[in-house]
Homo-oligomer: A and B are copies of this chain.
Amino acid sequence: MASKVIKGGTVVTADLTYKADVKVEDGKIVEIGPDLSGDTVLDASGCYVMPGGIDPHVHLEMPFMGTYSTDDFESGTRAGLAGGTTMVVDFCLPAPGQSLLEALTMWDNKSTRANCDYSFHMAITWWGEQVFNEMETVVRDKGINTFKHFMAYKGALMVQDDEMYASFQRCAELGAMPLVHAENGDVVADLSARLLAEGNNGPEAHAYSRPPQVEGEATNRAIMIADMAGVPLYVVHTSCEESHEAIRRARQQGKRVYGEPLIQHLTLDDSEYFNKDWDHAARRVMSPPFRNKQHQDSLWAGLASGSLQVVATDHCAFTTEQKRTGLGDFTKIPNGTGGLEDRMPMLWSNGVATGRLTMNEFVAVTSTNIAKILNIYPRKGAILVGADADIVVWDPAKEKTISAASQQSSIDYNVFEGKHVTGLPRFTLTRGEVAIDDGAVKTREGHGQFVAREPYQAVGRALSTWKELTAPRKVERSGIPQSGV
């Protein structure tokens, strides 16, 4: 394969900022330094050369009520690359009772058209001996070290506390990490029914049905269960202060917990649901819903201080047509918004440009932190010799106004419509191939490969050591019982 040199840029990683050229060959970074030459030169002058983004939370072609979310692995990864994201992690969702391995086959089939690398989290949607056993296969043979648990979606994906506790313990044994969608499903279900019964059937009722404390409670519960099981925990789509508070409090006690705000929650607020246009509001329906500005401030501070580690999207794109399924009944509006294409420009514009985050922190929360957490660092998330050449050449002066009219995503709207961003990819490389070339989309369908991930990440191992050291010890007694008073 011919070599490429990214020339004249400033390398920016999670902890370094320095001038250097980067040479790429056979999909890998092969040299970093001054004055490199290669077959092709990519002009990075005025640009930052950063690890490509990793979005650890997407749902592409997700089955939903007899249809599928509209962005599939092709359009979804194309959108991601257009925005500087070079890897996505999707969720394999077995139906209740279904074999994990069987479900995985279905997901493998869907992902063949991916334009960039990807991986899977496995969801635990039911519990039984088969699941217990297959978890081992999933970890040892299938390259998956993370298991997702839904504390909401009662009657569908939701698991009970005893199932979570059993699954988390199983994760601990296998060196895997549990993830949670944290909302109290019982309360959401009952409250939704009550709202509907009261005639509150519009999209705003979706937000009413899952207020912040419902998320905070579930987060707090999952944290306790994870600590009792002796395993780190990753909380997906942390949207509010209540959930963030639970995470902070846990970390303050030395617990190993991670939180993942979405770019939507960082930049959009709940006033969207009060829009008089039903479509406008319904298109923003996701779980958790958008929150107010105080919650946004909390999330931004979490990224700066390190109590939150990752910015994701929960990209799950439904068309307006699909959204309209919920006309007259908000509980039938498919949950999900887009974001893959906009995550990095929106975060840069609202974070780095304002001074809320340094450039290094930007790289950390869009790429490097999650690569470490998922145990794929430094293959991913790094600009290092030997790493995969998943690289974004970021032009801090390039600007645009976000619009559905010009997006890669297959849906007919964009929740960030009209937002002006400054800071966009000049080039995006996926394993050395130029997928985005100064605005031109040159993605190659099927180029993406599955990224296997090893268990026993360092933090989990350390936690196991500590839990073993501090495990309860039996009091040795003789002649039991002894005596009175």
CA distance in complex: A274, B475 (Å) = 6
* A475 CB contacts on chain B under 8 angstroms: 202, 204, 273-274, 276, 281
A63 interfacial contact with B, CB 8 Å: no
Q: Which of B190, B245, B279 contacts A482 (CB 8 A)?
A: B279
* A162 CB contacts on chain B under 8 angstroms: 186-187, 189-190
The reply to whether A228 and B213 form a contact with Cβ atoms under 8 Å apart is: yes
* A307 CB contacts on chain B under 8 angstroms: 251-252, 305-306
* A16 CB contacts on chain B under 8 angstroms: 377-378
| Known A205-B472, A221-B221, A358-B458; contact A254-B187, beta-carbon cutoff 8 A | no
Residues A230-272 near B (CB distance < 8 A): 245, 248-249, 251-254, 256
CA distance in complex: A475, B271 (Å) = 11
CA distance in complex: A248, B306 (Å) = 11
* A354 CB contacts on chain B under 8 angstroms: 465-466, 469
Residue of A199, A248, A468 contacting most chain B CB atoms (<10 Å): A248
Q: Which of B165, B208, B221, B412 contacts A484 (CB 8 A)?
A: B412
A141 interfacial contact with B, CB 8 Å: no
Instruction: Tell me the minimal C-beta distance from A298 to chain B in angstroms.
Output: 8
Instruction: Tell me the minimal C-beta distance from A377 to chain B in angstroms.
Output: 7
The reply to whether B160 and A208 form a contact with Cβ atoms under 8 Å apart is: no
Instruction: Tell me the minimal C-beta distance from A454 to chain B in angstroms.
Output: 12
* A256 CB contacts on chain B under 8 angstroms: 304
| Number of copies of this kind of chain in the complex | 4
The reply to whether A481 and B282 form a contact with Cβ atoms under 8 Å apart is: yes
The reply to whether B472 and A200 form a contact with Cβ atoms under 8 Å apart is: yes
Residue of B nearest to A472 (CB): B208
The reply to whether B254 and A474 form a contact with Cβ atoms under 8 Å apart is: no
A65 interfacial contact with B, CB 8 Å: no
A26 interfacial contact with B, CB 8 Å: no
The reply to whether A186 and B202 form a contact with Cβ atoms under 8 Å apart is: no
A444 interfacial contact with B, CB 8 Å: no
Instruction: Tell me the minimal C-beta distance from A21 to chain B in angstroms.
Output: 15
| Known A187-B224, A254-B304; contact A482-B278, beta-carbon cutoff 8 A | yes
CA distance in complex: A221, B324 (Å) = 34
* A301 CB contacts on chain B under 8 angstroms: 251-254
Residues A114-142 near B (CB distance < 8 A): none
* A300 CB contacts on chain B under 8 angstroms: 254
Residues A271-292 near B (CB distance < 8 A): 273-274, 276-282
The reply to whether A320 and B484 form a contact with Cβ atoms under 8 Å apart is: yes
| Known A202-B475, A469-B354, A475-B281; contact A186-B208, beta-carbon cutoff 8 A | no
* A14 CB contacts on chain B under 8 angstroms: 15
* A472 CB contacts on chain B under 8 angstroms: 195, 200, 204-205, 208
Instruction: Tell me the minimal C-beta distance from A417 to chain B in angstroms.
Output: 6
| Known A187-B161, A474-B200; contact A413-B356, beta-carbon cutoff 8 A | no
A109 interfacial contact with B, CB 8 Å: no
A214 interfacial contact with B, CB 8 Å: yes
The reply to whether A186 and B213 form a contact with Cβ atoms under 8 Å apart is: no
The reply to whether A355 and B254 form a contact with Cβ atoms under 8 Å apart is: no
CA distance in complex: A368, B14 (Å) = 13
CA distance in complex: A468, B353 (Å) = 12
CA distance in complex: A87, B390 (Å) = 36
| Known A195-B472, A305-B251; contact A279-B481, beta-carbon cutoff 8 A | yes
The reply to whether B355 and A465 form a contact with Cβ atoms under 8 Å apart is: yes
A216 interfacial contact with B, CB 8 Å: yes
CA distance in complex: A305, B213 (Å) = 19
| Known A254-B300, A301-B253, A320-B484; contact A477-B294, beta-carbon cutoff 8 A | no
Can you list 27 A-B pairs with a CB-CB distance of less than 8 A? A14-B15, A161-B186, A162-B189, A165-B186, A200-B472, A213-B224, A213-B227, A214-B228, A251-B305, A252-B302, A252-B305, A253-B301, A256-B304, A273-B475, A276-B477, A278-B481, A281-B475, A306-B306, A327-B481, A355-B463, A355-B466, A355-B468, A358-B458, A359-B458, A360-B458, A412-B484, A417-B485
Residue numbers of A with Cβ under 8 A of B are 14-17, 160-162, 165-166, 184, 186-187, 189-191, 195, 199-202, 204-205, 208, 211, 213-214, 216-217, 220-221, 224-225, 227-228, 245, 248-249, 251-254, 256, 273-274, 276-282, 294, 297, 300-302, 304-307, 320, 324, 327, 352, 354-360, 368, 372, 377-378, 404, 412-414, 417, 458-459, 461-469, 472, 474-475, 477-478, 480-485
Which 6 A-B pairs rank lowest in CB-CB distance, beginning with the nearest?
A355-B465, A355-B466, A254-B301, A251-B305, A208-B472, A161-B186
